Each structure stands twice: as structure tokens, then as C-alpha cells.
Amino acid sequence: MQLRQKDLLGIEHLDRKEIELILEAAKPFKSLFTRSIKKVPTLRGKTVVNLFYEPSTRTRTSFEIAAKRLSADVVNIAVSSSSVVKGESLIDTGKTMEAMKADFIVIRHSLAGAPAVLARNLNSSIINAGDGFHEHPTQGLLDLFTIREKKRKIEGLTVLLVGDILHSRVAKSNIWGLIKMGARVRVSGPPTLIPSGIENMGVEVNYNLDEALKGVDVVNILRIQLERQQENLFPSVHEYMELYQMTRERLANARPDVLVMHPGPMNRGIEISSEVADSPAAVINEQVTNGIAVRMAVLYLLSGRFQPNKKTDRGIHE
Amino acid sequence: MNKLIIKNGRVIDPSSSMDEVCDVLVADGKIVKVGKDIASDGALVMEARDKIVSPGLIDVHTHLREPGHEEEETIASGTRAAAKGGVTSVLCMPNTHPPIDNAPTVEFILMKAQKEGMVNVFPIGCITKGSLGVELAEIGILKSAGIVAISDDGVPVMDSQIMRRALEYTKMFKLPVVSHCEDKNLSKNGVMNEGAMSTMLGLRGIPRQSEEIMVSRDIMLAQLTGGHLHVAHISTAGSVELVRHAKKVGIHVTAETCPHYFSMTEDSVKDYDTNTKMKPPLRSQEDVDAIKRGLADGTIDCIATDHAPHTEEEKNKEYDLAPFGIVGLETLLSIVVMELIETKALTWPQALSKLTCNPAAIFSIAGRGTLAAGATADITIIDPAGEYDCKKENFLSHSRNSPWIGRKLRGLAETTIVGGKAVWSIKEAIKKQQS
């Protein structure tokens, strides 16, 4: 089995089988990381361009390490956000990359749909590394991978996403992925940060965090952008903390074996207390490790080489 | 005498409630008479069997872009597109560069239209100087220069006091105030309808209330002043209801909608195709249905294109960065045929009234939009069954930002006649293409 599309624009476009394929493919890659040599020759000769229109350290580094561990050549391009409006058009920049024979373009952009614009205009494989408030599919996939690894399943679990759902591409990708995999999804946050029509994606909304936490197997705490306060989406950080900070006391409402996740970077002491972030329930650093494995799997599968039954396939079944 | 006779067509003239198979006689650019078996001595004969013969269509909402954005459209190219679409008169919006807030710009447009235009052009002037929403434009002088309405289309008049003054002041000229109803504070940076779809796509939403709040405000101001409010491009069920109620209580309000608001929903934004981006945005099926009902019961008076040409360079980019607007002149008839006539939402006379006599009455365009004896011979011969593939390369507009490209469409203008002269003939066009 292979992925149906040349691009990964969102989890919305993946079916359950494809998600499972990626999660399966990530496993052997992860097992590489405990070896002294973490590199396989799988994508030798391939070129990956990280085209980042937004500042990012962890996602860019994660993609870079993933590509390098697959022996691909990696180029990082950071485009300042001012040139989104001025400067060269996105399509022209993409075509330039294609002319340089980039096999993959990993794009991070502040505007939703920017990866779709590239995908429509280019033959290179486009991987969405986060576009506006739309999706961040590899983050969603690594969250699924982490949940499945820890809980041994996804189906039937109750997962709660807390915080700024409106501006969160991570939330969107998580919702698509979790629902396709058979989990129950809840969101909790102030009504001003819950986007309209979110129920249509199949999630429950509960503004009261203590109630929303009841019976939850996994809680995924989203980063709160402090500047949202200036848009009057909440009155003060102080009040936000009062109502939505994940504290030990609050977390006690969830199941005793609850898993605590955060896509990072954390605002310690704001949306999550240090006590929770550093507790055994938290798997935040493992999410980062898993991110590399999942991104390796995505690059690998999009390169069209994945044939799970073929024992001779180099790199992961050796 | 220069005579023309259109034989055996189904002649529909909503201005006189006529709908029968007969002939139309034209001489020296005027309608002479409409009736059965008119003798064709010496006249050029045009056979119209199985076709519909209508007064020439009037589009009350077009952006011709000239002066200032000739790369998008010119008066020549825009009126050529109009002729192809069966439209014999266009009312052009004032958001040109410079804007139509001064007499010389009106005169320039009229002169250009005279020289290069294929169809009649009636300019709409600005409500405020530069459409900045601060000071009223010199509406009286603009009226003398030839405008038929005022509008700050594209930008709403946010200041209620200025809107009040505009509605009040224009009463002495009997000019309608065409309102682009949008509460800017609510629409903010939105690019599509607010709802589940905008959430899934991660695009900023524009709530229906952004339009409806301003429709209500303007209706109340029309009530206060007795001025004539014409609500542009209605896109929501709520706006239809507001206008319906206002008419019922006798407020002087008229309204238009556009083909995309009765044929498309926000679902088509799905792939970030920027040819689905316009203001107001595409809404939901309930809104589409309500607009069709509003057209059927007479709440909505006109069907206008809001023809808004933009170049491919402008449109083929990130959804947020692409400008609002789509072209519509060349597909107008097809969407009316497929979405209103074939679905039986409207009868032919109903649909044509919204494209002929209603616009003429609302904007006081004398002697057009009718086939009455003595009227100017602006006539559209419609082939309701004419099918074609909507292809990018076939557009006559400078711009091709149409959401219907790639679709098979039905219903077209076979011949378009302006002042007794054919300015478009599908047969000629096909001949030209083949040669």
C-alpha cells in the first residue's frame, strides 16, 4: 500500500489506512534512534527544501534531522514574513525550488492554503509544516503516534484539547486524525477561542475545563498566544490562567492514567503548570522524539518507496 | 430606413407582461412594433425560432476598471464581454483610479464608451469623495455629468451619519444610493463565510451579520430620510428577510443579488480556489434557497453580475492575498438558465424582469429594458438550450477569474442588439473561431 497523493497537505485528506501506514512506518525509524548510528541511506540523492515563511525552531529542526537521518540533502530557507506580501510570489519561489530539482518542499506559512497553492502549481512533493490556522499534519500524526505508543490504541479513547482552538492548526490536525482513528474528541476553552461550526467536525465542546476533563484518557494542551489578549479574545492572561491553566488539582478530574501532551513551545506557568509539565503523566519530550520518526515515515512514504512486505527494502527492515 | 425584423421568437417583454411567439420590427435603432406576422419588406430578417427574444439585459453592477486598472479590464473589453453575455447596458461602479467622484471622470468614461464601447455604459458615482467615507462627493455635479446612482461599492460607508446624509441629499435628484452592506469591524480580515467550512480550512470568517447589520441600518436610514436605498449583492437569508419586511412597511428599498449567490455555497472554497473569493462571501445552501425565494416573490428586484475582473497574477496566490471578486458578464445567462429557469425557481418572464424592466425603472434608464414601440432597440436573443464548455481561452473579458471555468454550461446569448445593431452573434463568433 502507498499514500494516494504526492503531497501531505492535511490529515483531512488521509484515510484511516493511510494514517495507520504512516504510524507503522514510523516505528522502525524510531527504533533507529537508540542505535549509535541513527542514519539510513533510504533517501540518498533526494533533496528536501525546508521553506519556512514563519519562524520555527522545533518543526524545522525536526524535519531537518528527519531528512538527514534518511540521508537526504537538506536546504533550509527562511523567508521573512514581510516578503509574503512584497517580494517574490510563493509560486515563483516554489518554481525556483523545483527548477533546482527539490524532491520535497516542506512549507511553513502564516496563511492557510499556502501549501495547497504550491501543490497545485508544482510537481515536487509538498509537505505542510503548518499553514495559518488550517493544519499541521505531521504534528497531528506524531500526536497520534505518541498516544498509540502509550495507550496501545486510539479507538475508544477520549481526548481533550484545551485552549485556543480557533487559531490552532495543531488542534485541527488532531481532530481530523483522532476522529478518523475512532477516538472521542472534546475541546475546551473560552467561547471566543472556539471556532464556529467546530461541532460539525464531530467534537464535543465544553467551556468548563473541570467538567471537560471527566473521563479523559489524553489531554493535549495548546499554547496560548499572549497577543490574542489584545484582540479582546480574553480579558487578561491572569484570568486565562485562572480558568484554563492545567494544574495538578484540575488534572485530577481526568482518568488516573491520563496522558498529558503539549505541542510546544510551552508557556510554563500559563497554560500549563510546571508541576504538570514535569510530571510522569507528561510525554512532551517524547512527542519531540516521535516527531522525527513520523516525519521520516512521511518523507519515506511520499518518496513512493514503501513496500511493507518486501524484506529486502533497505533501511528499515534490515 | 434601416430595418430589421426578428421572426418567430418567443418574445418576452416583462415591461408589458408579454410572452408570445411573434415578430419584432426595428427601424433606425428603435422598436417599431411587436406582433404576429409582421411583413418583412426590405428588412433584414433574423430567424429566432425556438429562441427567446428579450429586451436587452441591463447589468446594474459591473466593474469596468477603466480608468486605472486597464490590465484587468477596459471599457472596450468589458463591454465586449457584456455583449457576448447578452448584456446591452452596464452600470459601472466608481472604484476606478481615479474614482468616479468628479465630473471629468464621468465624462471620460462616457466618451470612451461612445468611442470603444460595444454596449451602453451608465456610470455610478461615489457617495463620498474618494470613497473614503468622510465627505459627500459632489453628487449634483456628478448627476449633471451623467451618473445614474451613487455607491462606495467595495467599501462600506461605516459612518451612519454620512449614509443618512447621502440618502437624504440624493432625494432631490431621485438617485438611488447603492449600498455595499458590510460592517467592517465584524468582517475584519475575513475572507470567506464564517462557519464550519472556514474553521476546517483555517480561513478567517465573515459572519452573515456583517452584511445584515448594515442592511438593517441602511433600511432604517431609508425610513428616516425617505431616500432610495438599493441594497447591492445580497448574499444571506437574513438580508432577504430584512428587505422583504422593509418593502412590506413601505420603505423605499430595492435590492439585487448575483448569480453566484443563488448557485454556489461556501463548500466550493474547499480547495482554496481563489475564484470562490468575493465579497460578500459565498454562504450556505439555506442562504441560496432563501435568495431564490426572494427572487421569486419579488423581494429581490435585480440580478446583477458584480463582474469584478482581476488578472491571473493577482488571483493565483494564497487565498488571503488574492483580491475579492469574480467575472460574471459572460456566464450570467447560463447561471440564470441552469439555476433559476431549469430548477423552476423562476419563470422566464420573472427572471427577465430582473434583468430588464426592473433595473431600468430603479435606475431611471428611460427607453430601455422594454420592447415598447419607440424604445431604443436593445434586444437580446437567447438560446436557452445552447450548450458550451466554459473555457478560459474563450473569455472576451481581459480577466478570466471565473469559478465556472471547466464546467459545461447551458443558456447563452445568440445575438445581442444595441440600438438596432448586432454587437454579438454566436454564429459569427463560431465562424471566426473556425476560420
Number of inter-chain CB pairs under 8 A, A vs B: 76
Give the nearest chain A residue to B320 (CA atoms): A111
Strand duo B379-389 + B408-418: pairing: antiparallel
Both A29 and A158 in a single domain? no
Residue A251 inside a domain? The answer is yes
Smallest CA–CA separation between B198 and chain A, in Å?
8
Residue B401 inside a domain? The answer is no
* Three-state DSSP state, A202: coil
Residue A90 touches partner B, C-beta closer than 8 Å: yes
Residue B392 inside a domain? The answer is no
Kindly indicate the confidence band of residue A310, based on its pLDDT and cuts at 50, 70 and 90.
very low
**Cell match 459632489: residue?**
B138
pLDDT of residue B431: 82
Residue A65 touches partner B, C-beta closer than 8 Å: no
Reported as type and span, the H/E element at residue B240 is helix B237-248
pLDDT score of A291 more than 90 = yes
B-interface mutation test, from A133, A164, A187, most B Cβ less than 10 A away: A133
Give the nearest chain B residue to A121 (CA atoms): B316
DSSP state, residue B402: -
Task: Please state, rounded to an integer, the average pLDDT across all residues of chain A.
Answer: 92
pLDDT score of A307 more than 70 = no
Residues 239-268 of B with CB under 8 A from A: none
Both B23 and B39 in a single domain? yes
Both B163 and B121 in a single domain? yes
pLDDT score of A308 more than 60 = no
Both A282 and A142 in a single domain? yes
Query: Is the Cα dihedral B351, B353, B356, B361 positive or negative?
Result: negative
pLDDT of residue A230: 82
Average pLDDT over residues B346-359: 98
- B395's grid cell: 473569455
Cross-chain residue pair B272–A117, CB shorter than 8 Å: yes
Reported as type and span, the H/E element at residue B186 is helix B184-187
Both A53 and A65 in a single domain? yes
Contact present, B398 and B74 (Cβ < 8 Å): yes
Both B49 and B74 in a single domain? no
Residues A269, A245: Cα–Cα separation, whole Å = 8
pLDDT score of A316 more than 60 = no
pLDDT of residue B402: 98
pLDDT of residue B164: 98
Kindly indicate the confidence band of residue B428, based on its pLDDT and cuts at 50, 70 and 90.
confident
| Contact residues on chain B for A121, CB-CB shorter than 8 A | 316
Cross-chain residue pair A132–B271, CB shorter than 8 Å: no
Both B124 and B39 in a single domain? no
* Three-state DSSP state, B293: helix
Name the percent of chain A in helix, strand, coil, to the closest 5. Answer: 40, 15, 40
B34 CB contacts (<8 Å, ≥6 apart)?
Answer: B11, B13, B18, B22, B23, B24, B25, B371, B373
Kindly indicate the confidence band of residue A142, based on its pLDDT and cuts at 50, 70 and 90.
very high
Both B254 and B307 in a single domain? yes
**Cell match 504526492: residue?**
A6
Average pLDDT over residues B332-339: 98
B-interface mutation test, from A88, A126, A134, most B Cβ less than 10 A away: A134
- B263's grid cell: 448557485
Nearest neighbour of B202 by CB, restricted to A91, A131, A201: A131
Task: Dump pLDDT digits (tens) for A152-163.
Answer: 999 999 999 999
| Contact residues on chain B for A134, CB-CB shorter than 8 A | 201-203
Task: Dump pLDDT digits (tens) for B260-315.
Answer: 999 999 999 999 999 999 999 999 999 999 999 999 999 999 999 999 999 999 99
Smallest CA–CA separation between A243 and chain B, in Å?
24
Residues B182, B276: Cα–Cα separation, whole Å = 18
CA–CA distances in Å: residue B378 to residues A257, B27, B51, B418: 78, 12, 16, 4
Cross-chain residue pair A117–B316, CB shorter than 8 Å: yes
Kindly indicate the confidence band of residue A315, based on its pLDDT and cuts at 50, 70 and 90.
very low
Average pLDDT over residues B65-76: 97
Nearest neighbour of A196 by CB, restricted to B195, B316, B317: B195
Residues 277-316 of A with CB under 8 A from B: none
Task: Dump pLDDT digits (tens) for A246-284.
Answer: 999 999 999 999 999 999 999 999 999 999 999 999 999
Reported as type and span, the H/E element at residue B218 is helix B208-225
Residue B104 inside a domain? The answer is yes
Residue A317 inside a domain? The answer is no
Strand duo A218-221 + A158-162: pairing: parallel
Residues 194-253 of A with CB under 8 A from B: 195-201
pLDDT score of A309 more than 80 = no
Residue A95 touches partner B, C-beta closer than 8 Å: no
Residues A231, A229: Cα–Cα separation, whole Å = 5
The CATH number of the domain holding residue B197 is 3.20.20.140
Smallest CA–CA separation between A76 and chain B, in Å?
21
Task: Output b/e per residue, A41-53; b: 16+ Cβ within 10 A.
Answer: ebbeebbbbbbbb
B435 CB contacts (<8 Å, ≥6 apart)?
Answer: none
pLDDT of residue B430: 81
The CATH number of the domain holding residue B37 is 2.30.40.10
pLDDT score of B53 more than 70 = yes
Give the nearest chain A residue to B273 (CA atoms): A117
Both B174 and B27 in a single domain? no
Both A258 and A141 in a single domain? yes
Between A49-58, B190-199, B226-235, the lowest mean confidence (pLDDT) is in A49-58
Strand duo B379-389 + B52-55: pairing: antiparallel
For residue B173, the Cα-to-chain-centroid distance in whole angstroms is 23
B13 is catalytic: no
Residue A318 inside a domain? The answer is no
Residue B390 inside a domain? The answer is no
pLDDT of residue A81: 61
Name the percent of chain B in helix, strand, coil, to the closest 5. Answer: 35, 25, 40
Cross-chain residue pair B320–A117, CB shorter than 8 Å: no
Strand duo B302-303 + B253-257: pairing: parallel
For residue B269, the Cα-to-chain-centroid distance in whole angstroms is 23
Both B41 and B86 in a single domain? no
- B408's grid cell: 459545461
- B187's grid cell: 468582517
| Contact residues on chain A for B316, CB-CB shorter than 8 A | 91, 117, 121
Residue B272 touches partner A, C-beta closer than 8 Å: yes
Average pLDDT over residues B20-25: 97
Residues A150, A145: Cα–Cα separation, whole Å = 9
pLDDT score of B177 more than 70 = yes
Q: Which residue segment(s) compose the domain that B208 sits in?
A: 56-362
Average pLDDT over residues A84-96: 83
Residue B198 touches partner A, C-beta closer than 8 Å: yes
pLDDT of residue A1: 75
Strand duo A259-261 + B3-13: pairing: unpaired
Between A1-10, A174-183, B415-424, the lowest mean confidence (pLDDT) is in A1-10
Both A118 and A173 in a single domain? no
pLDDT of residue B432: 82
Model pTM score: 0.92
Both A211 and A296 in a single domain? no
What is the number of domains present in chain B?
A: 2
Task: Dump pLDDT digits (tens) for B198-220.
Answer: 999 999 999 999 999 999 999 99
End-to-end CA distance of chain A: 20
DSSP lists the bridge partners of residue A219 as: A160, A260
Residue A5 inside a domain? The answer is no
pLDDT of residue B106: 98
Q: Which residue segment(s) compose the domain that A237 sits in?
A: 137-286
Reported as type and span, the H/E element at residue B289 is helix B285-296
Residue A62 inside a domain? The answer is yes
Kindly indicate the confidence band of residue A83, based on its pLDDT and cuts at 50, 70 and 90.
low
Both A84 and A150 in a single domain? no
Both A94 and A179 in a single domain? no
Both B156 and B175 in a single domain? yes
Task: Please state, rounded to an integer, the average pLDDT across all residues of chain B.
Answer: 97
Residue B230 inside a domain? The answer is yes
Both A146 and A267 in a single domain? yes
- Which is higher by pLDDT, A9 or A81? A9
From B304, B327, B362, the end of a domain falls on B362
Both B101 and B9 in a single domain? no
Smallest CA–CA separation between A275 and chain B, in Å?
33
Nearest neighbour of A112 by CB, restricted to B195, B316, B319: B319
Contact present, A119 and A302 (Cβ < 8 Å): no
Residues 110-169 of A with CB under 8 A from B: 111-114, 116-117, 120-121, 131-135, 169
Active-site annotation holder among B101, B152, B306, B378: B306
Both B32 and B130 in a single domain? no
E-strand stretches of B104-148: 120-123
Residues B435, B433: Cα–Cα separation, whole Å = 6
pLDDT score of A314 more than 50 = no
Q: Which of A88-102, A300-314, B374-388, B416-430 has the highest mean pLDDT?
A: B374-388
Residues A86, A285: Cα–Cα separation, whole Å = 38
- A225's grid cell: 498566544
Both A166 and A295 in a single domain? no
Residue B367 inside a domain? The answer is no
| Contact residues on chain A for B197, CB-CB shorter than 8 A | 197
Residue B395 inside a domain? The answer is no
pLDDT score of B184 more than 80 = yes
A-interface mutation test, from B185, B199, B203, most A Cβ less than 10 A away: B199
Reported as type and span, the H/E element at residue A49 is strand A47-52
pLDDT score of A227 more than 90 = no
A274 CB contacts (<8 Å, ≥6 apart)?
Answer: A268
The CATH number of the domain holding residue A261 is 3.40.50.1370
DSSP state, residue B182: -
The residue type found at A120 is R
Phi, psi of A208 (to 5 degrees): -90, 110
> What percent of chain B lies above the pLDDT cut of 70?
100
* Three-state DSSP state, A232: coil
Nearest neighbour of B200 by CB, restricted to A89, A120, A201: A201
Nearest neighbour of B201 by CB, restricted to A85, A113, A199: A113
Residue A1 inside a domain? The answer is no
Task: Work out the number of other CB atoms within 10 angstroms of the CB of residue B95.
Answer: 21
Residue B317 touches partner A, C-beta closer than 8 Å: yes
What is the number of domains present in chain A?
A: 2
